[in-house]
Amino acid sequence: MPEMTTGQAIKEALSLCLDSNDTTFIAGEDIGVYGGAFGVTDGLLERYGHERIKDTPISEDVIAGLAVGAAITGSKPIVEMQFSDFIVNAMDPIVNQAAKLHFMYGGAVNVPMIVRGASGAGTGAAAQHSQSLESWFCHVPGLKVVTPSNPQNAFDLLLASFVDPNPVIFMEHKLIYKLKSEVNLGPMPSDSSELGKSKVIQEGNDITVVSYSNMVNSVISAAKEDSLTDYSIEIIDLLTLAPMDSESVINSVEKTKRLLVCQEAPASSSVGSTLISEVATSRAFKALNQSPELLAGLHSPMPSAKHLETTVIPQEEDIVQKIKEMIENEQ
């Protein structure tokens, strides 16, 4: 299997999408000549031409509107929001059109489109270019929300999103673009059944730690710390936030009897708070030895200074400390 970065894996998936469907095109700001702000679409213009790789004006509303119109008239568009923060400028076509039309037309219309966006902090890009807005879209019926964490699942989940007949918000954390690993460049899947499935990264018996996007990688690193080697830690990567695979988390919590959810986004009305609510009102409630915990980003606009940015976002040492507290304080 070839070794590649997440950015390269996404480009391979985009190429497979373009090759498999003549109606598919990619549109976004600077995705053509420049190759994308993070280099993901570099080289696609030369390979597929201007008809299928479309540089757009700086207008997210227009980009999303283009995708909706193309999708309901027979195309399978993939559009890019250079920074997912500015997807807020496209809320009407995404939330009021893409998410609603299939239902409003009694199933007669599908809206097969993907909206890609670079999300998250960690690059010093400050408050307007560092947000984690995934929970906004989880709140909207009709949208699917996907958050890959490494090269392999970015490749697989983008292909699954492509064959799904629904609009998909595909959030790519900036810090995963350069992560490198071997990738199995499999064929286009026949269905989108991989969406809505979480993955157990590591099995354990003492505590269930759930995360998604780049925070999963922080959890994996934290679990390897020497101070945690005596503990058996189960790690779950949600991968898809809408629909969310809460059943797998419930099954895990019944076994470990403890739950910690880690996320970069603030806690208020978030993915983590929703998941904890679902677990607390499920059959796993009686198995819990203590209250579930949510380790989340601070409720603050993201600062650009590195020492302040790392204060707002949970770090590996914070995860280690929280796991130790949850296990040791009970013993």
Catalytic positions, please?
A: 60, 129
Q: How far apart are CA 317 and CA 331, in angstroms?
A: 21
Task: Return all residues near 113 (Cβ < 8 A) that are at least 6 apart.
Answer: 67, 68, 70, 71, 76, 77, 78, 79, 98, 167, 168
Per the rule left: phi > 0, alpha: psi between -120 and 50, beta: everything else, 59 is beta
CA gyration radius, the chain: 20
* Placement of tokens 């806690």 in the chain: 267
Two structure tokens written together for 70: 């193309």
Q: How far apart are CA 290 and CA 13, in angstroms?
A: 42
Amino acid letter at 320?
V
Q: How far apart are CA 76 and CA 205, in angstroms?
A: 43
Considering only CA atoms, which of 16, 17, 48, 19 is closest in space to residue 31?
48
Considering only CA atoms, which of 43, 27, 39 is closest in space to residue 81?
27
Amino acid letter at 28?
G
Q: How far apart are CA 27 and CA 57, in angstroms?
A: 10
